[in-house]
A = this chain, B = another copy of it.
Amino acid sequence: MKVILSLSGGLDSTCLLSRLFKQVEVLPVIFSYGSKHNRYENEAAYMVCKYYDLKPLHIELDQVMVEFRSNLLKTGGEIPEGHYSAPSMSQTVVPARNLIFISILAGLAESNDAQKVALAVHAGDHHIYPDCRPEFVKSADKTVSLATDGKVSLMAPFLMMSKGEVLKEGLVERAPVHLTRTCYKDQLIACGKCGSCVERLEAFQQCGMKDPIDYAEDTK
A residues contacting B by CB (< 8 A) are 57, 59-61, 63-65, 67-70, 94-100, 102-104, 106-112, 130-131, 133, 135-136, 139-140, 142-144, 146-149, 152
- How close is A30's CB to chain B, nearest CB, in angstroms? 13
> Given A100-B100, A106-B99, A110-B69 in contact, is the A146-B142 Cβ separation under 8 Å?
no
Which of the listed residues A60, A94, A106, A109 has the most CB atoms from chain B within 10 Å of its own CB?
A106
What's the Cα separation between A126 and B172 when bound, in Å?
47
- How close is A85's CB to chain B, nearest CB, in angstroms? 16
* Identical chains in the assembly: 2
What's the Cα separation between A70 and B107 when bound, in Å?
11
B107 lies within 8 A of A95 (CB): yes
Q: Within 8 Å CB of A96, what residues of B?
A: 103-104, 106-107, 110, 144, 147-148, 152
Main secondary structure of the interface of A (DSSP, over half): helix
What's the Cα separation between A118 and B67 when bound, in Å?
18
Q: Which of B57, B100, B146 contacts A135 (CB 8 A)?
A: B146
Q: Within 8 Å CB of A103, what residues of B?
A: 96, 99-100, 102-103
- How close is A115's CB to chain B, nearest CB, in angstroms? 13
Q: Within 8 Å CB of A57, what residues of B?
A: 67
- How close is A137's CB to chain B, nearest CB, in angstroms? 9
What's the Cα separation between A136 and B139 when bound, in Å?
11
B146 lies within 8 A of A143 (CB): no
Q: Which 8 residue pairs across A and B have the least CB separation, nearest first?
A: A96-B107, A95-B110, A131-B147, A69-B111, A136-B146, A103-B103, A95-B107, A99-B147
> Given A96-B106, A99-B103 in contact, is the A136-B147 Cβ separation under 8 Å?
yes
